[in-house]
């Protein structure tokens, strides 16, 4: 397969590929996504094939504006509308109940032509999107090109991050090509992503609402709108055997470069000193660190995360830093970890999962 590289002027081409059951790399403000018609189970299965993604890992549906929520969901709580008003378009995904087809809709399906791409189940959203759950993640992205493609396609677009499953998520067209060239129909060039980590996922079917994945909207801002928001335990620990993920990124080792990662937590100065003390003089170690300590490790590949207190910049640079370590060919990676305030929680979550929870506390 030859992967087309589309310019920002080729929105209609990207939309046509999606409508016809193909796969398109689409830009969002968080990371690049791998988009397919979210109502076509055959197209959605091809996402899993291209990524090598486990089938029990649910996908997120992307829509161009909040009015589309009622096409896909039912029993939408008032909290969801408040979040949409505050944060959409933006890096927030809400878990909502899938809408069930009415008896009239089911009867119409029986009378119409059925093909392999027609989803005929009782819920509007195919089970391959939701991993069999009766809930679905919904997001309205802030990237203008992304919303324009969805609007032109006329269908909700299922779009996980456009990386090979388990690798760092792509934040540029170059990253997408590295993982998906020859595997998908096209990639729409929308420039580099501005947020750099995936969307925040909140389950608003739970009472109180539950944060399932930290991301581009900090927990503090969610609580400002909703009051109490609980944290799912899987944010900062591995999921247990037999636990079913309710959202992407909860269960499996994610965001990982080829070399093993060791995350060092503690005050910035102490974690930097610990890394310096434990770098191997002969082993090809790389370091991901805050700007203040980038000169501490001569002779080793170093990637800067931004300032120790600049969590927005830490998030924007994280996946690029992990991919750069692959390019450098290091055999082991030491990484400083920010605290969990604001967007720091999302960075901590991604680093912990990249390391398979191989963490040193100093």
Q: What is the pLDDT of residues 264-319, one digit of tens each?
A: 999 999 999 999 999 998 768 999 999 999 999 999 999 999 999 999 999 999 99
Contact yes or no for 254/353 (Cβ under 8 A): yes
- Single out the residue of 362, 339, 337, 330 nearest to residue 352, CA to CA: 337
What per-residue confidence (pLDDT) applies to 110? 81
Q: What is the pLDDT of residues 211-249, one digit of tens each?
A: 999 999 999 999 999 999 999 998 988 766 666 666 665
Residue 199 has pLDDT above 60, yes or no: yes
- Single out the residue of 343, 75, 313 nearest to residue 222, CA to CA: 343
Q: What is the pLDDT of residues 159-168, one digit of tens each?
A: 999 999 889 9
Contact yes or no for 35/25 (Cβ under 8 A): yes
Show the tokens assigned to 275.
């890394």
Position with higher pLDDT, 112 vs 188: 188
Contact yes or no for 313/254 (Cβ under 8 A): no
What per-residue confidence (pLDDT) applies to 246? 65
Q: What is the mean pLDDT of residues 130-159?
A: 97
What per-residue confidence (pLDDT) applies to 109? 85
What per-residue confidence (pLDDT) applies to 30? 97
DSSP line for 241-303: TTPPPSSTTSSS--S--SS-EEEEES-HHHHHHHHHHH--SSS-EEEEE-GGGGGG-TTS-EE
Q: How far apart are CA 176 and CA 153, in angstroms?
A: 21
What per-residue confidence (pLDDT) applies to 145? 98
Q: Which helix (H) or strand (E) holds 326?
A: helix 311-328
What per-residue confidence (pLDDT) applies to 3? 98
Contact yes or no for 159/62 (Cβ under 8 A): yes
Domains of the chain: 4-235 (3.90.870.10), 261-361 (3.40.50.11030)
For the chain, list the strands marked E by DSSP: 4-6, 24-26, 33-37, 60-62, 73-74, 92-98, 135-139, 157-158, 186-188, 200-203, 210-213, 230-231, 261-265, 285-289, 302-304, 332-336, 359-361
Q: How far apart are CA 308 and CA 295, in angstroms?
A: 14
Residue 1 has pLDDT above 90, yes or no: no
- State the chain's mean pLDDT as an integer: 94
Q: What counts of helices (H) and strands (E) characterise the chain?
A: 12, 17
202 phi and psi, to 5 degrees?
A: -125, 135
Residue 118 has pLDDT above 90, yes or no: no
Show the tokens assigned to 329.
């060919």
Residue 16 has pLDDT above 70, yes or no: yes
What per-residue confidence (pLDDT) applies to 245? 62
Q: What is the pLDDT of residues 29-88, one digit of tens each?
A: 999 999 999 999 999 999 999 999 888 889 999 999 999 999 999 999 999 999 999 999
Locate tokens 């700007």: which residue?
A: 291
Contact yes or no for 173/32 (Cβ under 8 A): yes
Show the tokens assigned to 39.
């109502």
DSSP line for 108-151: HHHHS---TT---SSBSS-HHHHTT-SEEEEE--S-HHHHHHHH
- Beta-bridged to residue 304, according to DSSP, are 289
- Single out the residue of 345, 252, 326 nearest to residue 288, CA to CA: 326
- Beta-bridged to residue 127, according to DSSP, are none
């Amino acid at each position: 397969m030859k992967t087309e590289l589309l310019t920002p002027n080729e929105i209609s081409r990207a939309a046509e590929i999606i409508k016809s059951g193909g796969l398109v790399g689409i830009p969002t403000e968080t990371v690049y996504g791998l988009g397919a018609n979210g109502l076509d189970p055959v197209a959605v299965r091809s996402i899993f094939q291209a990524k090598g993604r486990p089938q029990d890992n649910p996908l997120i549906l992307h829509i161009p504006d909040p009015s589309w929520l009622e096409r896909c969901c039912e029993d939408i709580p008032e909290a969801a509308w408040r979040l949409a008003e505050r944060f959409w378009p933006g890096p927030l995904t809400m878990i909502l109940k899938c809408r069930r087809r009415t008896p009239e809709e089911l009867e119409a399906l029986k009378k119409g032509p059925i093909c392999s791409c027609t989803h005929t189940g009782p819920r509007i959203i195919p089970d391959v999107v939701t991993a069999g759950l009766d809930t679905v993640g919904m997001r309205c992205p802030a990237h203008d090109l992304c919303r324009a493609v969805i609007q032109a396609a006329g269908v909700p677009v299922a779009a996980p991050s456009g990386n090979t499953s388990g690798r760092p998520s792509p934040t540029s067209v170059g990253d997408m090509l590295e993982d998906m060239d020859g595997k998908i129909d096209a990639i729409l060039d929308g420039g580099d992503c501005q947020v750099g980590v995936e969307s925040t996922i909140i389950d608003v079917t739970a009472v109180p609402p539950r944060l399932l994945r930290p991301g581009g909207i900090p927990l503090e801002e969610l609580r400002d709108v909703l009051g109490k928001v609980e944290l799912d335990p899987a944010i900062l620990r591995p999921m247990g055997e037999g636990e079913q993920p309710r959202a992407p990124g909860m269960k499996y080792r994610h965001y990982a470069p080829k070399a093993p990662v060791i995350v060092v937590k503690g005050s910035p100065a102490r974690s930097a000193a610990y890394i310096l003390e434990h770098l191997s003089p002969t082993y090809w170690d790389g370091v991901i660190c805050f700007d203040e300590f980038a000169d501490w490790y001569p002779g080793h590949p170093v990637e800067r995360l931004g300032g120790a207190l600049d969590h927005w910049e830490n998030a924007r640079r994280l996946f690029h830093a992990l991919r750069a370590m692959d390019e450098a060919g290091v055999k082991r990676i030491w990484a400083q970890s920010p605290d969990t305030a604001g967007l720091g929680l999302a960075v901590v979550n991604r680093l912990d999962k990249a390391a398979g929870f191989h963490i040193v506390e100093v």
